[in-house]
């Protein structure tokens, strides 16, 4: 009796791709078609995968995306951020709000790009310091607060609410809906 493993995925909007599905243990799948351009993948170390009693061992993969590309659009597929309020161009290192280019410092750009790349996700101040400033940064959460305040000013009164404060936790970017 062949067992199958269920793989789940976020719905894929590209017509060239399809959803992940259950596969037979001996079935060979070309994972390259599921990866965004520029990404590579590696088998996840077995010790990092959960084990379920009475179930076969899980197989997992790490998908590595270049750090300088927080949002990777697929060729020939409309960019998911084309209708977004804030657009980030990581190659040109520019950010726009409603078509108006923002004058950002290096760290302001990195912070905004990170938040926009992960909409609706709440980031603690410590996570933002580690991710944006790096492990070697000496400072505290107030550094993040100051940069968020500057970003909100630069976004303008009409759009400052897209970066929301989650009390006693951190911040999240919430793109407007119904535009």
Q: What is the pLDDT along the chain (179 residues), one digit of tens a residue?
A: 444 444 444 444 444 444 555 667 777 766 666 666 667 777 778 777 777 788 877 777 777 776 655 444 444 333 444 445 788 888 888 999 888 999 999 999 999 999 998 889 999 988 888 888 876 666 666 889 999 999 999 999 888 999 999 998 999 999 876 54
Ordered by start, the domain boundaries in the chain are 1-65, 86-173
Alpha carbons within 13 A on the beta-carbon side of 166? 12
CA distance 37 to 72: 7
**Helix, strand, or coil (residue 41):** strand
Q: Tell me what pLDDT residue 68 has.
A: 56
In the block, which residue shows the tokens 């037979």?
24
- State the Cα–Cα distance between residues 38 and 50, nearest whole angstrom: 28
Residue-level pLDDT at 46: 78
At 174, list the tokens: 């919430």
Give the residue from 59, 55, 56, 26 showing the smallest Cα distance to 41. 59
Level-2 CATH architecture, domain 86-173? Orthogonal Bundle (1.10)
């Amino acid at each position: 009796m062949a067992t199958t493993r269920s793989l789940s995925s976020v719905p894929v909007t590209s017509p060239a791709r399809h959803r992940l599905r259950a596969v037979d243990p001996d079935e060979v799948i070309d994972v390259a078609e599921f990866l965004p351009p520029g990404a590579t993948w590696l088998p996840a170390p077995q010790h990092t995968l959960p084990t379920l009693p009475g179930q076969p061992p899980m197989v997992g993969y790490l998908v590595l995306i270049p750090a300088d590309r927080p949002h990777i659009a697929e060729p020939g597929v409309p960019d998911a951020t084309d209708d977004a309020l804030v657009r980030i161009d990581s190659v040109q290192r520019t950010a726009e709000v409603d078509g108006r280019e923002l004058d950002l410092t290096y760290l302001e750009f990195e912070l905004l790009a990170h938040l926009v790349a992960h909409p609706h996700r709440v980031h603690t101040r410590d996570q933002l310091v580690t991710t944006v400033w790096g492990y070697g940064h000496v400072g505290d959460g107030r550094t993040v607060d100051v940069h968020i305040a500057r970003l909100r000013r630069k976004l303008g009164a009409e759009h400052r609410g897209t970066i929301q404060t989650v009390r006693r936790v951190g911040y999240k970017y919430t793109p407007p809906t119904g535009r």
